[in-house]
Amino acid sequence: MLAYCAYLKRTEIMLPPAGVNGAPLQLIARNDLRLVWSQVDWPFNAHQLQGFAVDFHNVVSQVFRQAAVAPFQLLTVFDNRDAMVEYARANEEAIVADLDRLKACVQMECVAYVVGARRDTLQNPPGPDPAEPNLAKDAAKNPAKSHYDPQALFHMKEYTDQVVATVAGHSRDVKVREVTGGNRIFALVDRGQEQLFLQTVHDLPLPSMVSRRVKGPEPAGEFLSLRLGAPRPAKQP
């Protein structure tokens, strides 16, 4: 059984006719909680995974357009219906609390990243600026970032701080997650305020050697309670 997402009971919510690999979508209902699932053949064929991922996201996106959802980890498989029912029972309180808290919200994202500044492509790669000792410390803690020009990383961090400070004024919460050569900035905003986020980020000037990508609206996956966690995907034989 493949799990897609959870949402709170609403009679007007319409599910897509089919999910991954054309399988009919079904529901597990527990009080006000609804879990969307479908049957799948297991193990997956490697050449089908990309198409399955598209089908999976299409299902989650269609439900998300109608209500807040808690998405499962991509292509999470339960051994049987009893296992999924037990998951719903054990996590009902946490999932319902999250969905109720996030019912009027969406997630927006800005990815800030360094471009054209890998140290291994520079003829004379600079060392950390003595005036910025934290750059050396950051490189030591994050070996992947040591491949990038420290000044470019510094500008990227400054830009990240600017985005966070600016969007915080009209967001319920903001989180930053470090990735190689950049930062992912997540904002929890009210539905209907997506354009304000996009315009706010667009209006911020980009430093040299820094670029950005903006995503959203999406389900507020980064803002789900730590109590809520999808089970480990079933191990492929």
User: What confidence tens digit (pLDDT) does each residue in 21-75 have?
Assistant: 999 999 999 999 999 999 988 787 888 889 999 999 999 999 999 999 999 988 8
- Domain annotation covers residue 135: yes
Claim to verify: residue 46 and residue 117 sit in the same structural domain: no
For the cut 90, the answer to whether the pLDDT of residue 145 exceeds it is: no
Claim to verify: residue 88 and residue 109 sit in the same structural domain: no
Give the 3-state secondary structure of residue 36. strand
- Domain annotation covers residue 230: no
Angle at 212 between CA 99 and CA 226, to 5 degrees: 25
Claim to verify: residue 123 and residue 211 sit in the same structural domain: yes
Say which residue the tokens 């600079």 belong to. 126
Alpha helices in 6-110 (DSSP H): 49-64, 81-101
Say which residue the tokens 């034989």 belong to. 237
- Domain annotation covers residue 19: yes
Claim to verify: residue 91 and residue 142 sit in the same structural domain: no
- Please state, in angstroms and rounded to a whole number, the distance separating the CA atoms of residues 89 and 11: 21
- Domain annotation covers residue 113: yes
Claim to verify: residue 94 and residue 7 sit in the same structural domain: yes
- Domain annotation covers residue 232: no
Cβ atoms 109, 215 nearer than 8 A: yes
- Domain annotation covers residue 59: yes
Our count of domains for the chain comes to 2
Give the 3-state secondary structure of residue 14. coil
Cβ atoms 25, 19 nearer than 8 A: yes
Say which residue the tokens 């996956």 belong to. 221
> 155-182 pLDDT, tens per residue?
999 999 999 999 999 999 999 999 988 9
Tell me the CATH number at 130.
3.30.70
Query: 163-187: b or e for each residue (b if 16 or more CB lie within 10 Å)?
Result: bbebbeeebbebebeeeebbbbbbb
- Please state, in angstroms and rounded to a whole number, the distance separating the CA atoms of residues 122 and 49: 38
Claim to verify: residue 115 and residue 192 sit in the same structural domain: yes
User: Domain ends where: 83, 102, 121?
Assistant: 102
Claim to verify: residue 98 and residue 61 sit in the same structural domain: yes
Is pTM beyond 0.85 here?
no
User: In angstroms, how far is the first alpha carbon of the chain from the final one?
Assistant: 16
Claim to verify: residue 21 and residue 93 sit in the same structural domain: yes
- Domain annotation covers residue 79: yes
Report which residue type is found at 174. V
Claim to verify: residue 120 and residue 84 sit in the same structural domain: no
Claim to verify: residue 140 and residue 206 sit in the same structural domain: yes
For the cut 50, the answer to whether the pLDDT of residue 92 exceeds it is: yes
Claim to verify: residue 53 and residue 32 sit in the same structural domain: yes
Segment 115-131 mean pLDDT: 47
Question: Could you tell me which residues are beta bridge partners of residue 26?
Answer: 37
Claim to verify: residue 20 and residue 86 sit in the same structural domain: yes
Domain housing 83: 2-102
- Domain annotation covers residue 225: no
